Structure 1
């Protein structure tokens, strides 16, 4: 199957979900390595055809690619519903972006303040993700698009990614803090 055909089919799936839930958000194919995302500054939903296929592989035992895309679309629409909070986070988001561009990950993981900022970003992202999933669940309850068990499997898998990143960063923060305390005690 050619890539354009797959891209067109994905676009139609995303569009059909938006039509069903009566939301109209521009859709763009992107090549950023993120399966789907809501760009709250540009106010569009982006989808990466290759990444969606790869991301679905983890969920293939539980759902079809169509169900996966529909569920992730509901999730991105959940972010749309949280637009006001996303916009309110813009200053902080830019601070995190600037910090990541100004320092290497190696430098960040050796500095308590920078690592603290990374954890703050992780927590902010977790809250946005949890809120988007709550909004998506409400949409799904209202419009009955996705079987609840499948929806929950995809939700748990998605949220686990954010939890894992946070837990890993927190581990390194605690280790760095412990090492700093040992050095102070010597």
Structure 2
């Protein structure tokens, strides 16, 4: 029976090590492709916030901690209580990663921001303005950030990611539907 306990511990530590490594690779290598696979084919740009990688990493780390507890802790009541709490944190972190995205199609813009489970869908007429915040570095002018101001009062700010690479169709769609295009800086 002692050999079975040692084998279980070895297996638990092995799974914990795999999940620990996944904390650094999994959000970008597994969860990002998984979430983009379920987004509509009409999407022109699909992106996610930086928080997506952090919440997914925390999720995998929490799951790794569950297996470490199963291998190392003897007190069954404490082990199960702490493990269930860590499992809930792990699942929540991974779920928040999968639900953190934005994309646009020719008809609308959809965003499900960090730390939310519900998405907002905006038609191009729902935009009040799109602001390009420009900066000059070494004689080159580039977009430092974007800001989308909606008619419902919400504002979305993008400082990095895919949005800064492919936002020009959004400007065209917003201005064609009565919204403003503002350029700051430079």
TM-score in terms of structure 2 length: 0.28
Greater Cα radius of gyration, structure 1 or 2: 2
What TM-score, normalized by structure 1, do the two folds share?
0.28
Which protein is richer in helix relative to its size? Answer: 1
- Structure with greater strand percent: 2
